[in-house]
Amino acid sequence: MKRFAALYATIDQTTKTTRKVEALAAYLSQAPEDDRLWTIALFSGRRPRRTITTTRLREWAAERAGIPLWLFEESYPIVGDLAETIALVLPEPTETHDDTLTTWITRLRALDAASEDDRKTAILDAWNRMDPLERLVFNKLLTGGFRVGISRKLMTRALAQATGQDEAQLAHRLMGDWTPENTTYHSLIEAEDKAAQLSRPYPFCLAYGLDEDTPDSLGDPADWHAEWKWDGIRGQLILRGAEHFVWSRGEELMTDRFPELARARDFLPDGTVIDGEIVAWEDPHPLPFNALQKRIGRKTVPKKLLKEAPVILLAYDLLEENGHDLRDLPFATRRARLDALLHDLPQDAPLRPSRLIPFKSWGDLAQTRATARDHRAEGLMLKRSDSPYHVGRKKGDWWKWKLDPLTIDAVMIYAQQGHGRRANLFTDFTFAVWSGNDLVPFTKAYSGLTDTEFRKITAWVRKNTLQRFGPVRQVRPEHVFEIAFEGIFESPRHKSGIALRFPRMARWRHDKPVQEANSLDDLHALLSQYG
């Protein structure tokens, strides 16, 4: 644990990527194998299952610190991180320990079956043995959300340095839904494990956004392919060993959530891997994202929903054919093979190619892009014809060229402080539009402003609070913000009757008086046009 806490501190105490990777690589070559495995798991978003509710942790921490619970609760939003708040209020430890990360995690897992009293005793004992830094790390294990400024990509790079293995191959090995409890460091990183390989997805190739109005900078249009950028769930369909697997980009195994895709086995040969977008479909278009949304998060799907929002896979790319990895072939070749493979599928097959969009010039394509909403697409994807299927995000070969967002001018009426890096700043706002003389709240937004703007608005909120509801402050309706969003839906759950997709603050409209903000009627006009 001490070694891991020290690693955490080193990573946390530098803003330089190379130093973080260096420290992690050193750790991954020196720590015990079990600890390495857990570290890889934690830094790739896998954490031990939560055994103790945060409510209990707060109570125990307040009790141990000798402060009333309300005082702990008031401190938490100011610190912005529960694990850290607990670590900060606890008194100095009176005992010590010399146990490893894995030992502590195993101990935590064992508490699953323990009584409430035993859990409390164990946690208080742990807190009393650890120094403040170890406590912070330990509490993060307890509360989840282990984000420490090391991306998965950097972790993979460090692991490559530590093991001498190829980074892309390691990235592939680390895919899937393994946990340190169902594998070992050896079988995950070193061994050839046929069974694990069967379901393992390829790392997704990701694109950067293109900001320009015309992509002239990309050169000759003849070198590029274009297709719609669909608004669904990016996924990988794997047919191997007479089974099929559906993975989301977040590496969640979603096979059972989309039973429609099982029929792919009837049409496609074993040894096939397809990258595509899972969308709810109503010929000839996808349904809006909120139709699909209803199916996300449901492990089993009721018949009614299967009927209302049937899904298909719009296929983008062919990654494996007859068991051969095609990722190094040029996109144009892979795409031609994909089309050949899907060519003869019947109309009711659960997958079809996402069609390519022919174009002669960038100007042509810009006009097509402008019609994306009519096709229920978010914009276009541009892929260089000779590009391989990269691991992760790499600049240059793939671009997403999204439509300009929809916008509306709204009045800020509530403000709340952010978390983590944004604790102590007001960053979470609720916005309203006019309905007669009333302001009706319709969305929240958290992002889009610069740090300087957040500081400015924070100072303003402090001086212009009308009322407090717990952490939420009602502020003087004085500031207008342009809210940008990707989609608009009807939503009976909201007071305004609408919900937005990806709302954010595009601009602080210092020039606009509050009276000139948009109205609920304006929102409904957008809803009938784009909803």
Partner 1 sequence: MVLEFKPQGIYCPAGDFFIDPWRPVDRALITHGHADHARPGHNRYLATAAAAPVMHHRLGEITLDTVDYGETRRIGGASVSFHPAGHVPGSAQIRVEVDGEVWVVSGDYKTDPDRLSEPFEPVRCHSFITECTFGLPVFTWAPEAEVAAQLNRWWADNAAQGRFSLLGAYSLGKAQRVLSLLDPEIGPILTHGAVENTNAVLRGQGLPLPDTIHVTPDTKAADHQGALVLAPPGALSTPWARRFRPASTGFASGWMRLRGVRRRRAVDRGFVMSDHADWDGLYAAIKATGAETIYATHGYTDIFARWLTEQGYDAHVVPTEFTGESLDDDASTEADAAS
- Residue ranges binding partner 1 (CB under 8 A): 12-16, 65, 67-68, 70-72, 74-75, 78-81, 84-85, 88-89, 149, 419-425, 451, 455
Smallest gap from residue 79 Cβ to partner 1 (A): 6
Q: Indicate the residue among 298 and 455 with the shorter CB distance to partner 1.
A: 455
DSSP annotation of 35: H
Q: Where are the alpha helices (DSSP H) in 417-519?
A: 451-463
Residue closer to partner 1 (CB basis): 21 or 391: 21
Contacts 24+ apart (CB under 8 A), 114-122: 116/56, 119/51, 119/52, 119/56, 120/56, 120/60
Burial group, residue 407, by CB count within 10 angstroms (0-12, 13-18, 19+):
middle
Angle at 132 between CA 126 and CA 136, to 5 degrees: 75
Considering the complex, what minimum distance in angstroms separates the CB of residue 22 from partner 1? Answer: 12
CB of 52 to partner 1, least distance (A): 21
Cα distance between residue 231 and residue 502, in whole Å: 12
Rounded to a whole number of angstroms, the minimum distance from the CB of residue 136 to partner 1 is 8
Shorter beta-carbon distance to partner 1: residue 67 or 356:
67
Which run of H or E residues covers position 3? Answer: helix 2-12
Give the Cα separation of 223 and 212 in Å (integer): 18
For residues 11 and 140, the answer to whether their CB atoms sit within 8 Å is: no
**Token pair for residue 300?**
């089993």
Strand pairing category for 480-485 and 504-508: antiparallel
From the CB of 414, what's the least distance to partner 1, in Å? 18
Beta bridge partners of 508: 481
Look up residue 137 and give its two tokens. 């790390």
Nearest to 425 by CA among 434, 412, 415, 411: 415
Distances (CA, A) of 445 to 10, 428, 481, 506, 507: 33, 6, 10, 10, 12
Residue type, 386: D
- CB of 461: closest distance to partner 1 in angstroms? 14
Distance in Å, CB of 463 to partner 1, minimum:
10
Measured from the CB atom, is 43 or 202 closer to partner 1? Answer: 43
- Nearer to partner 1 by C-beta: 106 or 465? 465
Q: Cβ closer to partner 1: 71 or 110?
A: 71
Residue 283 or 469: the one with the smaller Cβ distance to partner 1 is 469
Smallest distance, partner 1 to C-beta of residue 7, A = 16
Smallest distance, partner 1 to C-beta of residue 49, A = 25
Measured from the CB atom, the residue of 81 and 397 that comes closer to partner 1 is 81
Report the DSSP beta bridge partners of residue 434: 439, 519
Angle CA 82–87–92, to nearest 5: 160
Q: Which of 33, 15, 24 is nearest to 160 (CA)?
A: 24
- Residue 179: both structure tokens together: 């946990």
d(CA 190, CA 36): 13
Q: Which CB sits closer to partner 1, 34 or 131?
A: 131
Rounded (10°) CA dihedral 9, 11, 15, 17: 170
Q: Who's near 440: CB < 8 A, 6+ residues apart?
A: 432, 433, 434, 495, 496, 520
Closest CA to 202 of 314, 318, 312, 299: 318
Q: In terms of DSSP H, where are the helices of 358-516?
A: 362-369, 451-463
Q: Choose between 453 and 521: whose C-beta lies nearer to partner 1.
A: 453
Q: Which is nearer to partner 1, 6 or 253 (CB)?
A: 6
Q: Which of residues 423 and 472 has its CB atom nearest to partner 1 in the complex?
A: 423
CB of 75 to partner 1, least distance (A): 5
Q: For residue 307, give the DSSP letter.
A: H
13/179 with CB nearer partner 1:
13
Residue closer to partner 1 (CB basis): 59 or 364: 59
**Quick one: which of 392, 342, 371, 391 has its CA closest to 226?**
371
To partner 1, the closest distance from the beta carbon of 123 in angstroms equals 19
In the complex, least distance from residue 91 CB atom to partner 1, rounded to whole angstroms:
9
